[in-house]
Homo-oligomer: A and B are copies of this chain.
Amino acid sequence: MRVALLTVGTEILFGQIVNTNAAYLSSELQNLGFDVMYHYTVGDNPMRLKDTLRHALSDCDMVITTGGLGPTEDDLTKEMIAEVMNDEIVTSEEYRQILVDFCNRHNYPVIENNLKQANVPKRARIFSNSQGTAPGFLLENEGKYVAALPGPPREMKAMFQEQLKPELIKMQDAVIYYRVIRTFGIGEAMLETKLLPLIDGQTDPTIATYAKEGEASFRICSKRKTLEEAKKAVDDMIVSVNQLVGEYIYSYDDEELVDVVGKMLIEKNISISACESCTCGMFTSRLGSVSGISQVLERGIVTYTERAKMEELGVKQETIDKYTVVSPEVAIEMVTGLKEKTGSDICISITGYMGPGGGTEKDPVATAYIGVSYKDKVYSLRHYRRDVNREWNRNYAVLKMLYEVYKNIKED
């Protein structure tokens, strides 16, 4: 099925926001086996909206719109879709009541503008909005489809997953199955080189690599008549993949490293504490995003100054004087002090140069020393990755810390 995406929103034409909705939907549709042929963006202008809808429908079987479903005067998407699809706008009494209930529940005024959101195309299948108030819908006319989703990404994603995706699955002519495999410690070019024997001449399953914020991932995808066939093809390929790059893989299901590590800590009931200098709490903050982490995350200490390192962790002035504050010796003293203080099962420390200033010839910006204390081991390691900018450098260093925790507790 050929699909066009139509984004409605002046703020995108102004360049105020990047159109991430189109990327999200494209990726989802691609994974369902639909062909995305066009992206369009127009403002809240009736003529251009209708004209673009018609242009998109002339070459595609389905148009998915995002945006322009809100309660204000300039939200026109529904009306224009109804006109192009030979339908009319009516008030859904059922949805009107949902809106009234919502306003009452949240103490919002029940004003006509808000209730306008209950106006929908007469023949449409209505999608309720679990994250907001504006409903979406799916409308068919002479074998062509238009689906309308809200503009705010959180609302759009929820409505797509909960309501539109099940409809699309019913329309599929083949079954797609894929897994996204995530690695750490190998670049995309090297990953592709290692996988080349499996990529070359392979038509199904396909393997495609891509890079994302310092990590390389790849997608194994099969399109077959049945789900069982597609699954088997992908799983067989994973066996071959493991022989080539298994040592770098930390997830076969597109999970974030922080989620893999957090869940593993919780499941194995391993308590953790961290002390951070250059990453300034980013490791602890990132780990804090995992729901339920409070069961195992004991303490985090940001010791940016030398004084804080000495007072909080018992780092010795003479160690700093002899080896400098960015050194394996200081990383070890930090993590040892933290272990004594907290008794957490695993403790981790970091001290480094994240830029833009600082660094030495031996240890340039983007270098850090990481200390780990786990069971009867205490060790340090040097981390360096090409200096990009302060935020990227911190991000890389935190990924490295997470991976070090992963390796230790994985081996248990």
**What separation, in Å, do the CA atoms of A17 and B30 have in the docked complex?**
13
**What separation, in Å, do the CA atoms of A56 and B307 have in the docked complex?**
61
Cβ-defined contact, A282 with B280, below 8 A: no
- What distance in Å separates the Cβ of A57 from its nearest Cβ neighbour in chain B? 13
Q: Which of B39, B52, B281 contacts A302 (CB 8 A)?
A: B281
Residues A17 and B23 in contact in the complex (CB < 8 Å), given A42-B38, A281-B300, A312-B299 = yes
- What distance in Å separates the Cβ of A256 from its nearest Cβ neighbour in chain B? 12
Q: Which residues of the partner chain B approach A342 to less than 8 Å between Cβ atoms?
A: 308
Q: Which residues of the partner chain B approach A240 to less than 8 Å between Cβ atoms?
A: none
A13 at interface by CB-CB < 8 Å: yes
Q: Which residues of the partner chain B approach A284 to less than 8 Å between Cβ atoms?
A: 280-281, 285, 302
Q: Which residues of the partner chain B approach A356 to less than 8 Å between Cβ atoms?
A: 291
Cβ-defined contact, A30 with B55, below 8 A: no
Q: Which residues of the partner chain B approach A311 to less than 8 Å between Cβ atoms?
A: 341
A104 at interface by CB-CB < 8 Å: no
Binary flags per residue of A267-280, CB closer than 8 Å to B gives 1, else 0:
00000000000011
Q: Considering the complex of A and B, which 3 residue pairs feature the smallest CB-CB distances, nearest first?
A: A280-B288, A15-B27, A300-B302
Q: Could you list which residues of chain A lie within 8 angstroms of chain B, going by C-beta atoms? A: 7, 11-20, 22-30, 36-43, 48, 51-52, 55, 59, 154, 210, 212, 279-289, 291-294, 297-305, 307-308, 311-312, 341-342, 355-357, 388, 390-391, 394
Q: Other than the known A18-B20, A299-B308, A311-B341, what 10 A-B pairs have Cβ atoms closer than 8 Å?
A: A11-B210, A13-B37, A15-B26, A15-B29, A18-B18, A18-B19, A39-B39, A39-B40, A297-B302, A298-B307
